[in-house]
Amino acid sequence: MIRLPKAKINLGLRILRRRTDGYHDIETLLLPIPLRDALEVLPSDGEMKYDFGDWGEPSEDNLVVRAYHMVKEVNPELPPVEIILRKRIPTGAGLGGGSSDASNMLLLLDELFELKMSYHEMHQMATRLGADCPFFLRDEPQLAEGIGEKLSPFPLNLEGKVLTLLHSDLHISTAEAYGGVVPSEAGPSLREVLAGPIEEWRGTLYNAFEPHIFQRYPMLAHGKEQLYRAGATYAAMSGSGSTLFALSNAPLLLSDWKGTQQTYTL
């Protein structure tokens, strides 16, 4: 059985406050996008098998492997499986690839072995795997609050818009991203900003990680400027970076971006 885990982008990302448990309360709109990995699960012949392609043999800390063991904790009869993963979503890029793979592993196991787990059960497991993971249990735009686990569907129609993704070789860890952020509750909520037309998002819909990340990595600031010069209606960094994205009415032509560029129609 195969699933194609989607990547996501963040439309706005507010870091509201630091919590007593060391995490941060955030507010962000998570949007699934057409960039996908491929994840296949097959019954095995008595032992766990892994085929992660160029990624090599996974460790027990791999989110997909951890997802399998979480399901087995509550379903001891779960048999060994063969897990085949092919990555197209870059890691450390703010696109949630690892989180998406893990949540899709939960969904695959539930469907393949008819476990009949509830959404609530899988949500709890996904939250233990990572703050982004619960979002990928449903394929729809969702407003994420709390540490990212409090989700609510959000009506957002971007059909026909062109999505441009700019990737670089930069790998920005979550610790690095949060290490320089300044929490703030000032300004309008995302609900207010996103209720307005996309033409008004520039300057009001912001990613709180951008100021210090762009200062540390000027090529990202330059990339965002390039996107606007090429005709983007809205451009930003996704999550904690380093992927930049743009929404536009037509494909964008960038002449001097040093990384890779991908284009999709939403």
Residue 61 identity (one-letter amino acid): D
132 labelled catalytic? yes
| Per annotation, catalytic residue among 37, 101, 132, 224 | 132
- Per the CB < 8 A criterion, the answer to whether 4 and 89 are in contact is no
- Provide the 10 A C-beta neighbour count for residue 150: 15
HEC string of the chain equals: CEECCEEEEEEEEEEEEECCCCCEEEEEEEEEEEEECEEEEEECCCCCEEECHHHCCCCCCCHHHHHHHHHHHHCCCCCCEEEEEECCCCCCCCCCHHHHHHHHHHHHHHHHCCCCCCHHHHHHHHHHHCCCHHHHHCCCCEEEECCCCEEEECCCCCCCCEEEEEECCCCCCHHHHHHCCCCCCCCCCHHHHHCCCHHHCCCCCCECCHHHHHHHCHHHHHHHHHHHHCCCCEEEECCCCCCEEEEECCCCCCCCCCCEEEEEEC
| Per annotation, catalytic residue among 8, 37, 101, 224 | 8
87 labelled catalytic? no
- Per the CB < 8 A criterion, the answer to whether 45 and 163 are in contact is no
* Active centre residues (catalytic): 8, 132
